[in-house]
Structure 1
């Protein structure tokens, strides 16, 4: 949707992600685009690596090398500012020729934001084989049993009774209620 605050992926020269982030943040400030471009992020995670002497060393690794994530409202001006930042080769999902970029769907960006600590991770106090009520969707108000829990994706698989058979249904943590 036009005029909506969304996340986009910007392609950069590999190894230039940090300088692109810095350049873009400077351009946002100097061109007064703070009301259109909100956050610039390089998704990173800490990995443990074992050195030759057997000790563990923590290393920060870019999850998506060659890409910078930008939260923005796409207008002609904001698009121009990002596109013409030194080191930026283009937007992912923009085929060139003046076509506007495609935003990341929430189900793709939310796990990345959670992993990077930019979005709160919902903790759930549930266990396998526990009874829950489905709160939303076509199975609303049905009671089912938790078959699996995926903390990273914030999803559970609930077995609900459908036509006399146990049917697995994948639901987000927000779609269920503890009984």
Structure 2
């Protein structure tokens, strides 16, 4: 396998979490393909964890009933805990469905900040522990509701819960039917779209 001498990166040689950008809808395929490559190449000592962050979110079905679903926190991204060197950079970057590392020029991956990682892992653990309990409770209490989201496009809002709690962003889409909004949040050095329940955001005065 050829080395990529241009892959001089921040944190190179150390164990960090990185964000990998993928084609839309390819997150699961990228995760599975990368896991297979890591195993077949014996790189478990360099690539430690591959994760698609999820969160539990309350939505409203077409029939007006509330339920809890697991939703990707960062559509179009996969997080990888790894030691970046020429070989691991090449393997990850050339996994089908990957468009590149998040960083200033793709060849210079920037590790996620510890605060970001702690927030993401904490939410992932909460989702895993809650599991079907939240969904069962939501189904039991399900009842028809009519949603009107009193927000407007391009409005700046603050996220109240989930891994982005405390972050601010701009509303880019509103789904009254399902009670969700899409908010553009500054994450990974770029605007990242986050689909979230309208109950998890608040207006900024």
TM-score of the aligned structures, taking structure 1 as reference length: 0.62
| Cα deviation, residue 54, structure 1 | 3.7
1:26 aligns with 2:31: no
Structure 1, unmatched stretches of 5+, are 119-149, 154-179
Q: How many residues align?
A: 120
Structure 2, unmatched stretches of 5+, are 1-10, 127-159, 164-205
**Higher fraction of strand:** 1
Q: Kindly indicate whether structure 1 or structure 2 has the higher relative contact order, using CA contacts under 8 Å at least 6 residues apart.
A: 2
**Higher fraction of helix:** 2
TM-score of the aligned structures, taking structure 2 as reference length: 0.54
Secondary structure of 2:96's aligned partner: coil
Secondary structure of 2:35's aligned partner: helix
1:116 aligns with 2:124: yes
Max Rg structure = 1
Deviations 1:55-113 (A, max 9, x none): 322222111100000000001111111001000000001404xx331101101211011
| Cα deviation, residue 48, structure 1 | 1.5
Contact in 1 for aligned 2:55/2:162 (Cα 8 Å): no
- The alignment's C-alpha RMSD in Å is 2.1
What is the rounded CA distance, in whole Å, between the counterparts of 2:29 and 2:161 in structure 1?
Answer: 34
Structure 1 runs, 4 residues or longer, greater than 4 Å off? 150-153
